[in-house]
A and B are shown apart, each in its own frame.
Chain A
Amino acid sequence: MNIFETILERKKILLVEDDLLISQAYRFALGEAGFDVLLADDGKEALEKIKAEKPDLVLLDVIMPLVNGFEVLERLKKRGMEGKPPVIMISNLGQAADIARGKKLGAVDFLVKSNISLKSMVETVKNFMES
């Protein structure tokens, strides 16, 4: 596998995160792990990029300007795009009710940012991509 093929094989991840610093850290860690990282900093942009770029996975924050993470999931569900692409929620809302809501709307996982290290986050993404 040459470098070219490797680049073509690289999985595309849409990182939707409005906090610049967190976005930067995640982009860095995911990039290091060999993923193609696209960025969006609100729900509206996320929906547009999901349509245009067809990412392999979406890391979706919840509390964001314009359209929040839950609403993004709702709209995807309405468009019949539930699970295409798969969505992992990344949020600092850590209550059981929030997690349950995200999963009910079709998210495959829910990561609480303050409780998970970059390493664990990357592990989770990798595990998901491999399965």
Chain B
Amino acid sequence: MNDKQNTLSFSAERFLDAVSDCAFVLDYKFNCLYINEGALRALDLGKKGMSEVLGKNLLKLKPRFASSLLYKKCLEAKSENMPIVFDEYVSHIERWFKCRIYPSGDMLLILMRDNTDELAIFSQIKESEEYHRTLIENVKDYAIFVLDIKGKIRTWNKGAERLLGYSAEEVLGKTPFIFYSKDGRKVGMDMRQLQQVKLEGKFEQEGWWVRKDGTQFWANEILSYFKDESGGMKGYTKVVRDMTERKNTEEMLKRYTRDLERSTRAIETEVAKDEALLDSIGEGVIATDETGRIVVFNQQAQSLLGWSQEDAIGEFYHNVWKIEGEDGEVISNTKRPVAMSLNNGKKIVNSAYYYSSAYRKPFPVSMTSAPVVLEGETIGAVMVFRDISKEKEVDRAKSEFVSLASHQLRTPLTAIKLFVEMLLLSGASNLTKEQQEMLQSVNESNEKMIKLVENLLDVSRLETGVLTVKLEQVVLKEFIIEVVHELQPVANSHKCNLVLSLPSTAGTKVTTDPVLLRQVLNNLINNAIAYSPDRRCNIYIDVAVNPGFQYQITVQDEGIGIPKEALPNIFQRFYRADNAVKARTEGNGLGLYMSKMMTETLGGKITCVSKLNIGTTFTVTFPLSKPRHPAVKRRVRL
């Protein structure tokens, strides 16, 4: 044994110490032939000196050795006569050793290297690798795969499988080119991507990708590279995310935004159109909310009232303009048309008001006010008005012209009338009977001319609407009696009998224009007289009152009547029925025409029933209270 022990030269010892932490040599009986310090420590023999161990049997020295892995491995190496390498944990010093057993002849050389730290690092790396691998494998929302240096797919995770529908076997070794949609595919694009990554370190883009089943998704892909320990390019990693949902959301958002913009624009256009429309019309348009605050005030309203839109909007309407009647009396707030529309839902039409504001003197207007009703509720009022100063002026001028023309026509006629009268009066004794008769004819014709001029004036006033209606309250009974009384002399001269019958209700008051009504009745009764033969004819004038509603005046004669075919035309201008002309009765064909117009101006109706040679009945019917639109002017085309 000692020989053998001695066979290990000094240099050999040094060598063993250098390549391993522990080194010892055993014979097949486990007698220790050589042992170094490290081995003593590892075998827990440190307390004993080297001399105490050398040449001794290890099994005896350290009985626990028999149960160690090292012992088993030594037996194994001995029986197989093959070197064995294994790891062993030495618990009492808590170290791992890489053990190598070399059988050699009848000896075993055992070298142990402490690789505890190495193992720790390795296990850490392994753990970390496992962790990342698991992570990557199991990431489902991302397709993560590795490309080799040539751009071929090397790994394929579950996310990639899920996202693209390909299994690992189907894609490994291929390039990601196949994943791009037809539109996105460009020759050499994958290579260019790799190139860019090399230059810039990273490449990112979004685009349509295609799954195995052909469906598409919007993908965000990030390509980067990794290097080996020496810094050489080793491959690339590609991370792909399905952005379809985000893309859809974005698209939807875009669409909503676009729709919103479009509808906003539509509304703006609509509003602009309305404003342009409101501003371009010639009438002032003002709208209020239900409390009477102004919400619309168009261009024309601004120029008519002198208020700016900014100032007027939000202001109460009654603070912006005032209303006066034709007599200059201020209309109180509660009686103003807008108030009536707001409070009573009434539509008001009026041409007899004067508007004024802080910036304008009163001017005549024609206005309409109407409630704005939404689902049965009044939510505001709209008032449309226009300045009628010019029309009033034109009307006035027209009226003046007509009356002046009529005056001028009548002046020479008057002179003729007066001189004929003078001749007849003073020169009666010097004139022959024949001459007197001639003068009488001149006089009659002249009188007709005067009457015609007068009627033409009336017709002109009625037709041009210059005629002003002045409403008054009159007691019907008194009024009719007066009219009939005035006509009595004419009736007498024609030997006609005027029969007036008044019911007790005729004592009522009616609202009318007495001048117009008188003219209508005069015309009707004069006609009845004129077309009655001079033989004690009766003319019946009947009055009927429907209390609270209307009244009727009937003029019935026993005269020549109106032929059936002429009846539809009798209210036409200058129309005269054949029999009337033949009967040589006087008339210019204006009486009934004017009567109809005046009756209608008063809100009434005129009707006629007649039988040839039996008689004619005219009936006029009027409302008892105020005629509906007394101020509305009639326009008749000539």
Contacts and interface: CB of A to CB of B under 8 A. Distances in A.
A7 interface: no
A19 B416 CA distance: 12
A65 interface: no
Contacts of A114: 410, 413-414, 417, 450, 453-454
B407 A118 contact: no
Contacts of B453: 114
Nearest to A100: B470
Interface string A79-113: 00000000000011111111000000000000001
B410 A22 contact: no
22 contacts: A19-B411, A19-B414, A21-B412, A21-B415, A22-B411, A22-B415, A22-B418, A25-B415, A25-B418, A25-B419, A26-B418, A29-B418, A93-B407, A98-B403, A113-B410, A114-B413, A114-B453, A114-B454, A115-B450, A117-B417, A117-B421, A118-B418
Given A25-B418, A92-B407, A119 B425 contact: yes
Contacts of A92: 406-407, 410-411, 414
Interface string B139-176: 00000000000000000000000000000000000000
A63 interface: yes
A26 B422 CA distance: 10
Please give me the 9 A-B residue pairs with the lowest Cβ-Cβ distance, nearest first. A25-B418, A21-B415, A92-B410, A114-B410, A113-B414, A114-B450, A114-B414, A96-B515, A92-B407
Contacts of A29: 418, 422
Interface of A: 19, 21-22, 25-26, 28-29, 32, 63, 91-98, 113-115, 117-119
Nearest to A92: B410
Interface in B443-458: 450, 453-454
Contacts of A113: 410-411, 414
Contacts of B406: 92
B455 to A, nearest CB: 12
A89 B407 CA distance: 14
A123 to B, nearest CB: 13
A118 B414 contact: no
A113 B450 CA distance: 10
A22 B422 contact: no
Given A21-B419, A29-B422, 12 more contacts: A19-B414, A21-B412, A21-B415, A22-B415, A22-B418, A25-B422, A92-B406, A92-B410, A95-B403, A113-B410, A114-B450, A118-B418
The residue in B403, B412, B413, B453 that gathers the most chain A C-beta atoms within 10 A of its C-beta is B403
A94 B402 CA distance: 12
B468 A97 contact: yes
B404 interface: yes
Contact of B414 (A22, A28, A93): A22
Contact of A93 (B403, B417, B419): B403
A114 B422 CA distance: 15
B407 A63 contact: yes
A93 B403 CA distance: 7
B418 A63 contact: no
A22 to B, nearest CB: 5
B422 A28 contact: yes
A92 B403 CA distance: 9
A63 B410 contact: no
Contacts of B413: 114
Nearest to A26: B418
A64 to B, nearest CB: 11
B178 to A, nearest CB: 104
Nearest to A96: B515
A118 B417 CA distance: 9
Given A93-B403, A94-B454, A118 B422 contact: yes
The residue in A21, A26, A91 that gathers the most chain B C-beta atoms within 10 A of its C-beta is A21
Contacts of A98: 403
A21 B422 CA distance: 12
A118 B425 contact: yes
B191 to A, nearest CB: 106
A119 B404 contact: no
Contacts of B412: 21
A21 B419 CA distance: 8
B371 to A, nearest CB: 37
Nearest to A93: B407
A101 to B, nearest CB: 12
A29 B423 CA distance: 12
A35 to B, nearest CB: 16
Contacts of A118: 418, 421-422, 425
B339 to A, nearest CB: 33
Interface string B423-448: 00110000000000000000000000
Contacts of B454: 94, 114
A70 to B, nearest CB: 13
The residue in A94, A95, A113, A114 that gathers the most chain B C-beta atoms within 10 A of its C-beta is A114
Interface in B376-429: 403-404, 406-407, 410-415, 417-419, 421-422, 425-426
A93 B515 CA distance: 15
A119 B454 CA distance: 22
Contacts of B407: 63, 91-93
Nearest to A63: B407
A89 B419 CA distance: 20
A70 B260 CA distance: 72
Nearest to B515: A96
A60 to B, nearest CB: 15
Contacts of A19: 411, 414-415
Nearest to A115: B450
